[in-house]
Amino acid sequence: MAKTNFKLAKSSYPSAKDVYQAKLSNGITVLARSNFNSPSVSMGGYLPAGAIFESDEKLGLADFVSSALMRGTQTKTFDQIYNELESVGASMGFDSGVNNTNFGGRALVEDLPLLLKLFSESLQTPTFPSDEVERLRAQALTGLALRAQDTSEMADIEFEKILYQDHPYSRPSDGYVETIQSITRDDMTEFHRLHFGPRGLVIAIVGAIQPKRAVEEVEKFFGAWQVAGQKEAQALPSTKQIKKTIKTHHVIAEKSQSDLVMGTFAPTRKSDDYMAASLGNSVLGQFGMMGRIGNVVREKSGLAYYAYSSLNSGIGPGSWEVNAGVNPANLNKAIDLIEKELKKFVKQGVTKNELADSQANYIGRLPLSLESNGGVVSAILNIHRYDLGMDYYQRYESLVRNVTRDDVVDVARKYIDPDRLVISTAGP
């Protein structure tokens, strides 16, 4: 067998030429791309029905609704839905974030119509049966009891609460015990009626199917969906600045390890600052074995099994944070080391070699992230969600290469002030 002559970059990446886009008459956007290397198909998508629409008293409602969509529809029970899915080795699921309700699934290509039918019924005609709602409530409450014992999750929740103050991003999308207890079946039905509809719905399909046929299949199951009075997507408010470093500790007794989250705001995904911030973050806490942070906290000091930074950029203001899990006795030592690294990062930026390394990594790893159908689904959904342009992957290499050391230090200074951080820890 001869080696295939791949043009490594560009030609094999998703582009306007091979991602078929269609808009159905009811407003649904369909994105499709074929891949005949495996007899399977992946799909994913989202619609603007997120936690942003919830009141503080009903926190967790969007999430509760999305977890109940497959618990019964006008034609099928929970057990029937899952029996059809699991019998053919297919899977699907929903979850909610602040802005959107997201969904995803996969199947053998012969079962795509089945998958689409179940998606369509779950989205359009869920019935929220009372007994199923109560079962889900019990599961959600157990989930919250486990969350209360999880050092990483609790440090994160407290971090977001302080960083985002009264912004919708300050609230955990799985709610609190009292809010989950207060949600009624009527709340769920009403939320579904107001926010679930074809407007703003995006569906991406990638796999062993011709794109046009994929669109026809979507049209068949979703084309007739109309919802009068579906609410418009809501704009996000702005955030308030952090005036000085704020430290908080959440006590969870009898834990062997504490978790820490420290950081500040990040640019949105669409911002011109994004690529420079992302490459800077790679140097700071990703590249190689978790970048500079990993090198100092794990390699040199042996303080943690994991210590890294991440840039969480999305539709609204993201967070730029450092996470680590350390022995409770070493918490302050780890915080000091990380603070020093942040100061150095803001003062000196990155070296020429560091930047070149991360740039090479970003360009080189692209084929890996686009290998599976699921990887391509999320890539083309991101292009659409953040309005990056269908030629994004064709431009990607130059976007990465054009970032300079000055760009990195500028965004570092713009977003990170080492004297104005949120430092959240959880543990004994």
Partner 1 sequence: MKNNITQVTLKNGMKVMLKEIHTAPIISSWIWYKVGSRDEPTGKTGISHWTEHMMFKGTKKFPNGILDKAISRDGGRWNASTSKDSTRYFETMPADKIDLALRLEADRMQNTIITEKEVASERTVIISEREGSENEPTFQLSEAVQHAAFRVHSYHHEIIGDKADLLTITRDDLYNHYKTYYVPNNAILSIAGDFDTKDMLKKIKALYEKIPKGKTPPRLARPEPEQKGEVRLSVEGPGETAFTQIAYHFPNATHADYFPLQVMESLLNGASGLSYKTARLYRALVDKEFAVDVSGWSESSIDPGLYRITITHRPDKTPEQALAVFDEEIKKIQTELISNDEITRAVKQAKAVFAYGSENITHQAFWMGYVSMFADYTWYTNYVKNLAKVTPQDVQRVAQKYLQASNRVVGVYVPKGMGK
E strand intervals along 52-132: 91-96, 101-108
Residue 236 neighbours by CB under 8 Å, 6+ apart: 52, 99, 167, 168, 169, 315, 316, 317
User: Is 397 a binder of partner 1 (CB under 8 A)?
Assistant: no
Q: Is 363 in the site for partner 1 (CB under 8 A)?
A: yes
Among 149, 226, 348, 351, interactor with partner 1 by CB under 8 A: 149
State which of residues 90, 163, 202, 283 lies at the interface with partner 1 (CB under 8 A): 90
Q: Are 244 and 420 in contact (CB under 8 A)?
A: yes
Taking CB under 8 A as the criterion, the residue among 343, 367, 395, 414 binding partner 1 is 367
Give the residue from 364, 370, 424, 366 showing the smallest Cα distance to 18. Answer: 370
Residue of the chain from 33, 106, 195, 292 that contacts partner 1 (CB under 8 A): 106
Least distance to partner 1, CB of residue 310, Å = 16
Token duo for residue 91 = 């899977």
Return d(Cα 428, Cα 416) in angstroms, integer. 29
Considering only 107, 350, 379, 416, the residue that binds partner 1 (CB under 8 A) is: 107
401 binds partner 1 (CB under 8 A): no
Please report whether residue 83 would count as binding partner 1 according to CB under 8 A: yes
Range 20-39, binding partner 1 (CB under 8 A)? 35, 37-39
Residue 224 Cα distances to 27, 111, 278, 352, 375, angstroms: 11, 21, 42, 56, 30
**Is 113 near partner 1 (CB under 8 A)?**
no
Strand-by-strand arrangement of the 101-108 sheet: 20-23, 29-34, 202-207, 40-47, 101-108, 91-96
Q: Please list, in sequence order, all residues whose beta carbon lies within 8 angstroms of the beta carbon of residue 179, skipping any fewer than 6 positions away.
A: 56, 57, 58, 59, 60, 61
The residue count for binding partner 1 (CB under 8 A) is: 75
Please name which of 201, 139, 200, 135 lies closest in space to residue 175, comparing C-alpha atoms.
139
- Restricted to residues 177-236, the positions that interact with partner 1 (CB under 8 A) are none
Residues 42-81 that bind partner 1 (CB under 8 A): 78-79
Q: Are strands 202-207 and 40-47 parallel, antiparallel or unpaired?
A: antiparallel
Which C-beta is closer to partner 1: that of 245 or that of 361? 361
Alpha-carbon distance of 71 to 81, in angstroms, equals: 8
Report in angstroms how near the CB of residue 241 gets to partner 1 at its nearest.
Answer: 34
- As given in the structure block, the two tokens for residue 411 are 């965004």
* C-beta neighbour count of 400 within 10 angstroms: 18
Question: Of the candidates 43, 26, 2, which has an alpha carbon nearest to the alpha carbon of residue 372?
Answer: 43
- The stretch near partner 1 (CB under 8 A) out of 164-172, 298-306, 341-349, 392-400 is 298-306
Is position 388 an interface residue for partner 1 (rule: CB under 8 A)? no
The verdict on 377 binding partner 1 (CB under 8 A) reads no
Query: With binding defined as CB under 8 A, does residue 360 bind partner 1?
Result: yes
Question: SS3 of 121, please?
Answer: helix
**Smaller CB distance to partner 1: residue 82 or 386?**
82
Determine the residue type at 232: E
Return the H-helix or E-strand segment holding 145. helix 130-147
Residue 236 or 363: the one with the smaller Cβ distance to partner 1 is 363
**E runs forming strands in 175-278:** 202-207, 246-251, 258-266
Rg of the chain in Å (alpha carbons) = 23
Q: Is 304 in the site for partner 1 (CB under 8 A)?
A: yes
Is residue 129 at the binding interface for partner 1, with CB under 8 A as the rule? no
Per CB under 8 A, which of residues 319..348 are in contact with partner 1?
Answer: 325-327
Nearer to partner 1, 388 or 400 (CB): 400
- Under the binding rule (CB under 8 A), the answer on residue 120 touching partner 1 is no
Choice between 28 and 377, CB closer to partner 1: 377
Q: Which stretch binds partner 1 (CB under 8 A): 264-272, 340-348, 371-379, 393-401?
A: 371-379
Q: Which of 255, 333, 343, 344 binds partner 1 (CB under 8 A)?
A: 255
Single-letter residue type at 41: V
Verify binding: residue 167, partner 1, rule CB under 8 A.
Answer: no
Contact stretch for partner 1 (CB under 8 A) within 15-23, 184-192, 265-273, 355-363: 355-363
In terms of CB distance, is 364 or 389 closer to partner 1?
364
Residue 166 or 299: the one with the smaller Cβ distance to partner 1 is 299
Closest approach of partner 1 to the CB of residue 203, in Å: 20
For the CB of residue 418, give the shortest distance to partner 1 in the complex, in Å: 25
Nearest to 399 by CA among 366, 372, 428, 374: 366
Counting contacts by CB under 8 A, is residue 127 touching partner 1? no
